[in-house]
Amino acid sequence: MATPASTRVMKTKIAILALIPAAAGVVFCSSARAKRPVPSQQAPATSSTESTQSVWDGIYTPEQANRGETLYAQRCARCHGPDLGGGEIAPALNSAEFKSNWYGLSVDDLLERIKVSMPQDDPGSLSRQQTADILAFVLSKDGFPAGKTELAREAEVLKAIRFEEKKPQAAGDVETPRSLDGAESQAGHGGRIAVANEHASSVQFFDLATGELLKDISTLKRPHEMVIDREAGVAYVSIAYKDGPWDQYESPGNQIQVIDVEKMEITSTIDISPHWAPHGLALDQKTGLLYASCESNGGEVIVVDIKKMKVMGSVRVGVPHPHSIAVVPSLNKAYTANKDVQHISVVDLKQMKLLKDIPAATGTDGIIATPDGKYVFVGNFNGTQLLVVDPTRDEVIKTIPFDLPPSTFALSPDGSKLYITFHDLGTRDGKQVLDQPGFVQEFDVATLTPEAKMEVGHFPLNMTVTPDAKTAIVDTTADGAIAVVDLTQMKVIRRIKTDEWPHGVVAF
């Protein structure tokens, strides 16, 4: 059914999941190149209630920070600068972005990341005690207070210490009471999150306000993209590939699983055979039809009746990897972004036929249509331009340059704001790595103008926006976590650890 990997044409991009090390949350280094790849270090999901201390509780001593200063000067300052201000190849360690990136995680997460991935020229060469000393120095320079006890090197101790960006309110401090309605109206409050974790073959449910893990359920192998029907309380997750990433798998999936988000359980599985490798999903709630881009039959779009739980039709688009899909119901059209060919495919959903190919010279990645059907926004696989398509003409009417490839998208519920993820796929020793920071940028749809941009974590793969338009949830996949973003401030307000390789995400 699937073409064997040994006979596939190797793509320009090296397979991420098979070859890359986990991303480094900070980059401590003493030279520009590493001798060996960084081992995977995904941490298990943890509840925010497990931590009993924070970095504001005096968790290191001045003497330990002095030892760490000497080690930092020897092993880290060349890249990060003697004042921790960063350099050409390494980020600052005394910035608001640094604190925001680690907010909500444990000190053990940070220490372990340093220990296994740094210095870049000899990762893993620092002992846990040396790493703890360096971290004590960094904490001292970042304004976190010293105490009477040295920062421990034992993981079980450090896992109980939270990294807090701002000093928590003391128990005796007076806080103005706030009604429940008022709390739920703020960003990051109210509702739940469901995350499909590809490598763990699981879906996890979290409380948006607290980050508490509510339930963890098993799925078929390697759940991929997710889409939600909030009115029906149902989410759909594609099972695309059973044993590898999009360009290096042997066994494709041929199922779409159905999840009751209120009960937090899988209620059924749709078998899409003889079609296979469903990737992107798009839902038309009015018609009750679910559309999926599939790699079967030379690349195709399939139509699934969600009431009958069966495939009702398909249209061959003739590309090997129709990656993502968007639907414009008012025009009866579907669009697929195709990573490794130079066009966007347009499908007539009424006549069920391929309508047109829109040129896209550098390949495409994510794709999304505005609710009013005015625009289709398309990401870029190898280039750095956002493509704006007019679906009435099926032409690219504008290209907007960025400094990194625009990857995936989410829209505010009213379609007025577009949110774009960016990640920098770096290379080390001939292999792709994900140790460069990723970003989310706001984009005004009416004026087609880029707005505020923020660092969000490593390899932001997918995201969603809550129904109140105040919060975004972003998979920072290489961090094994999701970032909760206050869209009114464009700031990460919470990080939640997940199972390995979070991929699809929905909020409800």
Residue 432, pLDDT score: 67
Task: Name residue 356's beta-bridge partners.
Answer: 346
Distance between CA atoms of residues 502 and 479, nearest Å: 9
How confident is the model over 415-420, as a mean pLDDT? Answer: 98
Instruction: Give how far the C-alpha of residue 115 lies from the chain's centroid of Cα atoms, to the nearest Å.
Output: 24
List the end-to-end C-alpha distance of the chain, in Å, as a whole number: 37
Apex 365 CA angle, 422 and 297, nearest 5: 155
- pLDDT over 70 at 178, yes or no: no
Please give the C-alpha separations between residue 103 and each of 128, 163, 265, in angstroms, as whole numbers. 22, 5, 30
Contact indicator for 233, 221 with CB cutoff of 8 Å: no
Note the pLDDT of residue 249: 76
Q: What is the pLDDT of residues 88-125, one digit of tens each?
A: 777 889 887 788 778 778 899 899 889 888 887 888 89
Q: Which amino acid is at 487?
A: L
pLDDT at 172: 42
Per-residue pLDDT of 148-162, as tens digits, reads 999 999 999 998 998
76 pLDDT above the threshold of 70: yes
Distances from the Cα of 386 to the Cα of 116, 367, 419, angstroms: 36, 10, 12
Is the Cα torsion angle 65, 67, 68, 74 positive or negative in sign?
A: positive
- Min mean pLDDT across 213-217, 247-251, 400-404, 443-447 is at 247-251
Q: What are phi and psi of 455, to 5 degrees?
A: -80, 135
Question: How confident is the model at residue 503, as a pLDDT?
Answer: 96
CA separation for the pair 160, 344 (Å, rounded): 49
Secondary-structure percent of the chain, ordered helix, strand, coil, rounded to 5? 15, 40, 45
Q: Which of 24-38, 73-87, 382-396 has the lowest mean pLDDT?
A: 24-38
> What is the per-residue pLDDT for 170?
54
Q: How far apart are CA 23 and CA 20, in angstroms?
A: 8
Name which of 13-22, 279-288, 343-352 the model is least confident about.
13-22
322, two tokens = 């129709």
Is residue 274 reached through a cis peptide bond, with omega within 30 degrees of 0 on the bond before it? yes
pTM for the whole structure: 0.70
3-class SS of residue 367:
strand
Hey, is 122 helix, strand or coil? coil
**188 pLDDT tier (thresholds 50, 70, 90):** low
Domains of the chain: 25-162 (1.10.760.10), 184-507 (2.130.10.10)
Residue entry with tokens 């130079």: 342
DSSP H or E run through 162:
strand 161-162
The helix/strand count (H/E) of the chain reads as 8, 32
Whether 28 shows a pLDDT value over 90: the answer reads: no
Average pLDDT of the residues of the chain? 85
Dihedral angle of Cα 59, 477, 452, 95, to the nearest 10 degrees? 20
Say yes or no to pLDDT of 282 above 60: yes
Q: Can you read off the two tokens belonging to residue 360? A: 């896209």
- Cα-based distances in Å from 451 to 97, 354, 437, 440, 441: 18, 35, 19, 10, 7
